[in-house]
């Protein structure tokens, strides 16, 4: 079957462009482009047949179909030749049953989708495999791209650098100086990307990279490029698959540039259209209070939106004041009877630390989502028997300073709620035993 997909203007003029064209906005009206699929062809396969096909491929070895993304290739990007695919077996991430945390909060059916247990440690791998594979295809066919590039809050750049270097394609990375973690900074450097550290914030890097990408020989890898959304869409398909094709009640997603919340929504909508599911979950988007333009818009019933200057937050990957996917995210949230909530710095750090005590190791953005979960349970917006999925966006190991700072009290400051400090002791058996006994006393 020759499944087909193309870029289509999302602003209503319906102009279409091939996916191999180097283009991000409609030539007619400047609207963002979306990937559209020939749904009639996809519908010729019945829902049960899709499920069986996806089950057969899931986490198996036949390259590239064992990948969580490429196992759903027909629904993601059917026009890429398998030989051009650059995959690192992305997806297939654990759905962690947060039994103890859920018990503490009063929700028994709580699950954390561990999207950060991935090649470069964040969900960005899911979109980047699609984008870099497409660049690889374009270069194989016409060969006149010089580099892929992106502005990043640290995870997009890590993913782009890894996939580009696996493909042998030059990558250029624009990072806001001193606003990404050490781990995130060293990732593109290690992968050999040209890494530019700019004296600005993410929004400032984005402005420059958008200007650079007006040149046809540079390919823009930010999520303004909808190819990434197509890969990230598989998160919702995979979650449903992991529940034997049952749809959860709530999905809570941390949002910055708002590509991921859009992507998850589109994944559910596609499954609904193909009959793979018969209802939609509700979606909650979680923002840091210090970078909350979507939350502010939600407060106006989405009638208004104003870009803001994002303030410094521990949730650095979502420190974004002018999200590129704002309109598609609002469309998705309306369709999913969605809500938007926010978390303060203390709330996000406490929520991450609290969940860590039940076996997790959360990044600050997941902390934002967990803090919003806690508020929703307290408000009884989430009921005790609801099935809730929290999207964990990155691996906590990329954010050691966030955790070190939490558990390292400054004298004079009030200790955080879930503080755990190491004891420094002399190497003396009796004293060690005494201290253990003291601290284990109930």
Ligand X SMILES: *Cc1c(COP(=O)(O)O)cnc(C)c1O
Instruction: State the residues that interact with ligand X by CB under 6 A.
Output: 122, 124, 155, 223, 254-261, 317-318, 363, 365, 393-394
Contacts of 80 (CB under 8 A, 6+ apart): 73, 130, 133, 134, 137
**13, interface contact from Zn ion, ligand X, none, CB < 5-8 Å by kind:** Zn ion
Binder among 5, 19, 22, 26 for Zn ion (CB under 5 A): 26
- Supply the Cα-derived Rg of the chain in whole angstroms: 22
- Separation CA 242–CA 389 (nearest Å): 12
**122, interface contact from Zn ion, ligand X, none, CB < 5-8 Å by kind:** ligand X
Nearer to ligand X, 187 or 241 (CB): 187
Q: Minimum distance between the CB of residue 235 and ligand X, rounded to whole angstroms?
A: 11
Determine contact, residues 286/315, Cβ cutoff 8 Å: no
Q: Minimum distance between the CB of residue 96 and ligand X, rounded to whole angstroms?
A: 16
Nearer to ligand X, 87 or 122 (CB): 122
Q: What is the largest CA-CA distance in the chain?
A: 79
Beta strands in 289-409 (DSSP E): 339-343, 387-392
**254, interface contact from ligand X, Zn ion, none, CB < 5-8 Å by kind:** ligand X
Q: Would you give the end-to-end CA distance of the chain in angstroms?
A: 65
Q: How many CB atoms lie within 10 A of CB 166?
A: 16
Strand order in the sheet with 95-97: 95-97, 109-114, 387-392, 250-254, 282-288, 339-343
Q: Minimum distance between the CB of residue 222 and Zn ion, rounded to whole angstroms?
A: 19
Nearest Cα to Cα of residue 126 among 34, 209, 227: 227
Sign of the CA dihedral running 142, 145, 148, 149: negative
Nearer to Zn ion, 16 or 44 (CB): 16
Nearer to ligand X, 65 or 96 (CB): 96
Binder among 5, 8, 9, 67 for Zn ion (CB under 5 A): 9
**Binding to Zn ion in span 317-336, by CB under 5 A:** none
Q: Minimum distance between the CB of residue 163 and Zn ion, rounded to whole angstroms?
A: 29
Tokens 């992991």 correspond to what residue?
242
Q: Minimum distance between the CB of residue 31 and Zn ion, rounded to whole angstroms?
A: 4
Residue 320: is it exposed, middle or buried by C-beta count within 10 angstroms (0-12/13-18/19+)?
A: buried
Phi, psi of 267 (to 5 degrees): -65, -45
**393, interface contact from Zn ion, ligand X, none, CB < 5-8 Å by kind:** ligand X
Nearer to Zn ion, 11 or 308 (CB): 11
Sole window of 4-12, 37-45, 261-269, 293-301 interacting with Zn ion (rule: CB under 5 A): 4-12
Binding mask 43-82 for Zn ion (x = CB under 5 A): ----------------------------------------
By the rule CB under 5 A, 32 interacts with Zn ion: no
Q: Minimum distance between the CB of residue 276 and ligand X, rounded to whole angstroms?
A: 23
Determine contact, residues 377/405, Cβ cutoff 8 Å: no
By the rule CB under 5 A, 27 interacts with Zn ion: no
By the rule CB under 5 A, 28 interacts with Zn ion: yes
**373, interface contact from Zn ion, ligand X, none, CB < 5-8 Å by kind:** none
Nearer to Zn ion, 11 or 198 (CB): 11
- Separation CA 134–CA 186 (nearest Å): 26
**28, interface contact from ligand X, Zn ion, none, CB < 5-8 Å by kind:** Zn ion
- Separation CA 385–CA 377 (nearest Å): 11
Nearer to ligand X, 137 or 157 (CB): 157
Nearer to ligand X, 402 or 406 (CB): 402
Nearer to ligand X, 57 or 328 (CB): 328
Contacts of 210 (CB under 8 A, 6+ apart): 220, 222, 224
Residues that bind Zn ion (CB under 5 A): 9, 11, 13, 15, 26, 28-29, 31
């Amino acid at each position: 079957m020759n499944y087909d997909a193309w870029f289509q203007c999302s602003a209503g003029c319906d102009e279409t462009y091939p996916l191999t064209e180097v283009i991000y906005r409609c030539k007619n009206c400047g609207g963002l482009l979306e990937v559209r699929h020939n749904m009639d062809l996809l519908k010729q396969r019945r829902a049960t047949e899709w499920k069986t096909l996806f089950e057969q491929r899931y986490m198996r070895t036949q390259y590239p179909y064992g990948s969580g993304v490429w196992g759903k290739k027909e629904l993601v990007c059917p026009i890429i030749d398998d030989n051009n695919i650059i995959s690192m077996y992305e997806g297939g991430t654990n759905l962690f049953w947060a039994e103890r945390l859920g018990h503490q909060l009063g929700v028994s059916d709580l699950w954390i989708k561990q999207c950060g247990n991935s090649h470069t440690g964040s969900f960005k791998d899911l979109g980047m495999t699609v984008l870099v594979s497409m660049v690889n295809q374009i270069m194989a066919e016409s060969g006149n791209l010089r580099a892929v590039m992106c502005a990043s809050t640290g995870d997009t750049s890590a993913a782009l650098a890894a996939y580009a270097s696996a493909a042998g394609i030059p990558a250029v990375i624009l990072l806001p100086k001193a606003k990404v973690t050490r781990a995130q900074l060293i990732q593109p450097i290690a992968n050999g990307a040209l890494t530019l550290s700019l004296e600005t914030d993410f929004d400032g890097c984005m402005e420059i990279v958008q200007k650079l990408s007006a040149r046809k020989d540079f390919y823009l890898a930010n999520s303004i490029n909808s190819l990434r959304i197509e890969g990230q869409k598989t998160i919702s398909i995979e979650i449903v698959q992991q529940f034997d094709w049952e749809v959860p009640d709530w999905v809570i997603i941390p949002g910055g540039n708002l590509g991921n919340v859009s992507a998850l929504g589109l994944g559910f909508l596609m499954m609904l259209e193909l009959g793979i599911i018969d209802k939609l979950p509700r979606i909650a988007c979680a923002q840091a209070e210090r970078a909350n333009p979507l939350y502010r818009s939600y407060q106006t019933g989405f009638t208004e939106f104003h870009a803001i200057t994002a303030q410094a937050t521990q949730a650095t990957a979502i420190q974004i004041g002018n999200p590129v996917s704002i309109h598609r995210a609002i469309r998705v949230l309306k369709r999913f009877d969605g809500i938007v909530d926010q978390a303060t710095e203390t709330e996000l750090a406490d929520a991450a630390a609290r969940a860590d005590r039940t076996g997790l190791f959360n990044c600050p953005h997941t902390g934002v989502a967990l803090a919003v979960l806690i508020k929703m349970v307290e408000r009884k917006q989430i009921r005790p028997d609801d099935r809730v999925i929290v999207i964990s966006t990155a691996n906590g190991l990329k954010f050691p300073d966030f955790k070190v700072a939490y558990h390292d009290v400054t004298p004079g400051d009030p200790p955080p709620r879930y503080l755990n400090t190491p004891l420094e002791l002399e190497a003396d058996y009796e004293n060690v035993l005494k201290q253990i006994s003291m601290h284990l006393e109930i």
